[in-house]
Amino acid sequence: MLYLCPNCLRKRNLEKADVNILVATLFLIGGILVLGYGLAFGSPFWLIGAFLTFVSGATVWYNVSRRGEVPPEIVPETMPEAGISAEEKEAKSDEAEAEEAQRLYDQLFTEYIEHWGIQTGTQLLEGEIQAYTRHGDSYAQAMRKIAERNKRKTH
């Protein structure tokens, strides 16, 4: 199962809704133009225009309402995982993990900026983090993997 942080999940759902709204709006405009052409010149195309206008208008309405919803998140800590007890999960402090991830991020950020420049370095590092988190790694795991991979590159 793919686990995403709540912000990443919200962002993904918003991006999907935005794309659907954009495409449906283009079809809505096309439907209105075809409807106007059909009615103005007595062409039977007005039926196609009316259909396009209705369907794309409903699609825009649905996605705008969906965009406002906050999707329910599946938090990995609440999911039963085989072989790991609750005590083992609690043993590793979330705060320590967050501090380690922040330390690694700062270190990697400095390395990327020095090598690639501020804009490109930032984009590359954020892209690598997103690639790992999209595939189910936590933010802290992603930072550890990137740091380990970069360490192997330099040695």
Q: 55-69 burial, b for 16+ CB within 10 Å, e for fewer?
A: ebbebbeebeeeeee
What is the predicted pLDDT for the residue at 115?
A: 87
What is the predicted pLDDT for the residue at 22?
A: 93
Q: Give per-residue pLDDT as tens, 4-61.
A: 566 777 777 788 889 999 999 999 999 999 999 999 998 888 899 999 999 999 999 9
Q: Give per-residue pLDDT as tens, 47-103.
A: 999 999 999 999 999 988 887 765 555 444 544 554 555 566 555 567 778 888 889
The 3 state secondary structure assigned to 76-144 is HHHCCCCCCCHHHHHHCCHHHHHHHHHHHHHHHHHHHHHHHCHHHHHHHHHHHHHHHHHCCCCHHHHHH
Q: How confident is the model at residue 116 (pLDDT cuts 50, 70, 90)?
A: confident
Domain boundaries of the chain, sorted by first residue: 9-67, 105-155
What is the predicted pLDDT for the residue at 24?
A: 93
